[in-house]
Structures are given as structure tokens and as C-alpha cells.
Amino acid sequence: MNIHILGICGTFMGGIAALARADGHAVSGQDQNVYPPMSTQLEELGIRLSEGYSAEAVPKQTDLVIIGNALSRGNAAVEHVLDAGLNYVSGPRWLGENYLAGKQVLAVAGTHGKTTTASMLAWILEDAGKQPGFLIGGIPGNFGISARAGKKIFVVEADEYDTAFFDKRAKFVHYRPSIAILNNLEFDHADIYPNLGAIETQFHHLMRTIPGNGSVVVNRHDASLRRVLDRGCWSQTSMFGIDGETDAEWRVRPLEPAGRELEIFHHDESAGAVTWNQTGRHNALNATAAVAAAARAGIDPADAVAALAGFKGVKRRMEYLGQTGGVNVYDDFAHHPTAIRLTLEGLRRAVGGARILVALQPASSTMRGGYHLDQLAPALAPADFVFLHSTEALDWDPSALFAKLQSGGRFRGQVDNMLGDLRAEIRSGDHVVFMSNRGFGNAPQRFIEGA
């Protein structure tokens, strides 16, 4: 089949392209932003790419067009597909109906931690010899790619964002997993959902797709997820949480403040302790969820815990980039105050009294709209100074945020100016964290290279 993909260079749609190619389809695509590393990865697979959304770039011999959720009516390529009567489908629906069908699907859902937890789970299964397929919204360090065909078992990052301009259901309702992790649930995606209750409804819809002999692994600490379960759960349920704070079936006990040593328990029996390179309470919970889900898939918990020692993390998930002038530099895909807070708290425990400087780009529509402004100052509290950058208009005054920070802060509309201010402020021994769910003008790498 000749498949053409609109929006092919996004992590999810690029993964769809790779899976379609692995299935033997001839694949082409176009995107507004065609640049490495995704463009290189796709071209190496023999996928022809076009930049921009011109109608002429849609091949005449196209059997199916897969349309990404970033595209909408008025887009020239979309209008051509509709006017020409071409067969089209969303990425999540194609994945669910044409690729996941017949496989054992393990889905990882939640406002935070989906990418990291899915990467942990895929690695545990790989270490156990299961050769899993996966589609993850990031690049796991253990694999170096965001998607792989695999064998009979498949790990998918299950996003609650809407499917396409013609399908406003959450992506994850198309995946029909037999095992699902529900990590957490908070308000996000203000451009799609009016309130938290609307997102809880989408999670309830996901619950309705999981079979009775399937399993749901749920964060015991999350009140929103408890409300989702109260609306109906027809599958086996396993709760996970922090030891000493819950009576959950699966519990984790951090053995040192930064979280680099953990012990995981199933009921009251230890499944083993591990020393690894991750930090923070959030990653301890992510690990526990991954071990619990792997156990449901038949992996011995002790083997799953042991595999975590070899987990290499995920690119742009608190990724350590190295040092420059004695300054430690990290890149983090932050998009929500809770994720920011947990990440910085974990770093603070790891570095003690060393200075932490944060360069934050509030890029999501929810962050730019100020929906989480009251939570943002407490989230940034572990930092010693905050540099805020946005090229797009904010519906709030940055000075209002800085006034709530004991550390103070500075806003810059240009990346060059922000980097200049940051370089003037740093000193050897500092830790600098770049936080954004967009490209950030390549600021982390430019900072490292002194560009």
C-alpha cells in the first residue's frame, strides 16, 4: 500500500511512519518542519519527505493518507485530501486497527511520566527477552529510536490529547490495551478540554476498552484516578504507591534522599532493590508502575527490578548533557507545574546546596494561558534563579511570577538575550536546567557549545 503521512516529523507520526515501513508499505510524507534528527531517521528508512503542506506534494498514487492531529481545516494538503476524495485516517486509528490488532498491548497513560514509564517498561520486557515493539513519544536511551515493530508484545505511550481534527476523542481510545498503566491525572491541554472532569471522562472511556481479563495499574495517591475508577472498572486492578504512605499492592521505598536507590515491594514481600541513574519520587513511582505492569505480562518482579539498573533514561527527560566550564547542564521536556516541581525537587535532593538555575519556556497553550500560574511559583521554588523565555504572547505578567519567587527571575523574549544573561550569572558548580516541550531555539546545545 502507498501511504502518505501529513505531519510526519512529529515523534508520534514519525513512529507511525517507521512502523508502516516495517510492515512493508511504501511510505512518504510532508511536514512544515523537516529537520534532523527525525528527518534523517525517516530518510534512512527510505521514506520520501517534502517540506510544507502544498497539495502538489501529495503523491497521485496514494492509497491512504494518515493525518496528524496538528493539522486542521484550511491546511492546503488537508483540503486537497478532502476535495480529491482520498482515503484518510488518523494516526491513532491506523495504529490501533492495522498494527496493534492481534498483539498484546501495554498502554501507559497519565498527565506526566508517560514517556519515561513506557521506556522503562519496554526495557524491562527487552531485558527479559520478549523483543517488544513500542511507540513512545521520545527516544529511550536503551533503544535510540522512538518506535520499533517488535514481536507479539507492544508498548504504546497512550496520550489523552485529541486524535485529529475529525476525531475529538483521546488518542488512547484507539489502542485497546490488555494492560494499562494510569500514572496520574491533572488538568492540562486547555486548548482541548474545558476542565479536569472532561479529561477524566476520556480516561473513563479508556477503561471501557480494557477487557475483563485485562489489568489496570493505578497510582494509589491520585484522587482524579480514583474518581475515574469509581465511574466503572471491569478489569483486574493493581494499585501502586510510596511505601509508608499507602497500603497499595505495589510499593516503592527510596533508600536514599535523591532516589538513586530503591526497593520495590509486592504486598509485603520485597521484589528487590536497585541502584540506578534516575532521581526523584516521580521516577520511583514510574519504576514501580513499570514493574507492576511487567508482572502482569508474565515477567518475574525480581527480574524486572534488576533490569532497572540498566535503564538509560530518555532524551529530553532530565537528560544530562554534560559540563561546560564546570557547570552541569540538563535538558527536560517540562510542560506542567507538577512535572517541573517533581523534577527540581529530585535534582535538589541530588545536588544538595549547589545552585540550580532554570531556563523555562512556557510553550504549551495551557502554560501560556496562565491556567497553572498559581502552581508555577511553588514548582520553581527549588531553583536559585529562573530565566523565563517566550516568543509568543503570555496571558499573564512574568513579573507577577517573579514576585512570588524568593530567588527572583528575569524574562527575555529572545533566546540570544536569555543565553547571554545566563552565561553572565553562572559559576562553576552550578546546575542549569533547560525546561520546554518545544525546541527552545536549540538553547541547551547552544549553551553547551558557547554559541
Q: What is the pLDDT of residues 390-399, one digit of tens each?
A: 878 888 888 8
pLDDT greater than 80 at residue 74: yes
Q: In 232-383, where does DSSP find H-type helix?
A: 281-296, 301-307, 337-351, 365-368, 373-380
Computed over every residue of the chain, the mean pLDDT equals: 91
Percentages (nearest 5) of helix, strand, coil residues in the chain = 35, 25, 40
Instruction: Provide the pLDDT for residue 139.
Output: 86
Instruction: Provide the pLDDT for residue 170.
Output: 94
- CATH tag for 319-449 (out of 3.30.450.40, 2.40.70.10, 3.90.190.20, 3.40.50.720): 3.90.190.20
pLDDT greater than 60 at residue 451: no
Average pLDDT over residues 53-69: 96
Quick one: pLDDT band at residue 129, thresholds 50, 70, 90?
very high
Average pLDDT over residues 326-337: 87
Range 2-89 has CATH code 3.40.228.10: no
User: Lowest-pLDDT range, 28-32, 160-164, 326-330, 364-368?
Assistant: 364-368
Average pLDDT over residues 138-164: 93
Average pLDDT over residues 403-426: 87
Quick one: pLDDT band at residue 131, thresholds 50, 70, 90?
very high
102-310: CATH number: 3.40.1190.10
Quick one: pLDDT band at residue 205, thresholds 50, 70, 90?
very high
User: Lowest-pLDDT range, 115-119, 380-384, 402-406?
Assistant: 402-406
pLDDT greater than 90 at residue 208: yes
Bridge partners, residue 344, by sequence: none
- Is residue 184 a contact partner of residue 222, using CB atoms and an 8 Å limit? yes
Range(s) within the chain of domains with CATH label 3.90.190.20: 319-449
Instruction: Provide the pLDDT for residue 35.
Output: 67
Quick one: pLDDT band at residue 341, thresholds 50, 70, 90?
confident
Neighbours of 14 (CB within 10 A): 27
Bridge partners, residue 387, by sequence: 359, 410
Burial class from Cβ neighbours inside 10 Å (0-12, 13-18, 19+) for residue 408 reads: exposed
Helix and strand totals (H; E) in the chain: 15, 23
Amino acid identity at 319 = E
Residue bearing cell 536507590: 261
pLDDT greater than 90 at residue 279: no
User: Lowest-pLDDT range, 49-63, 165-179, 348-362, 381-395?
Assistant: 381-395
Average pLDDT over residues 115-136: 97
Instruction: Provide the pLDDT for residue 184.
Output: 92
Average pLDDT over residues 264-275: 96
Q: Which residue has the higher pLDDT, 390 or 75?
A: 75
Average pLDDT over residues 280-286: 90
Average pLDDT over residues 144-151: 90
pLDDT greater than 70 at residue 105: yes
Quick one: pLDDT band at residue 337, thresholds 50, 70, 90?
confident
Instruction: Provide the pLDDT for residue 38.
Output: 75
Question: What pTM was computed for the model?
Answer: 0.84
C-alpha torsion angle, residues 255, 258, 262, 264 (rounded to 10):
100
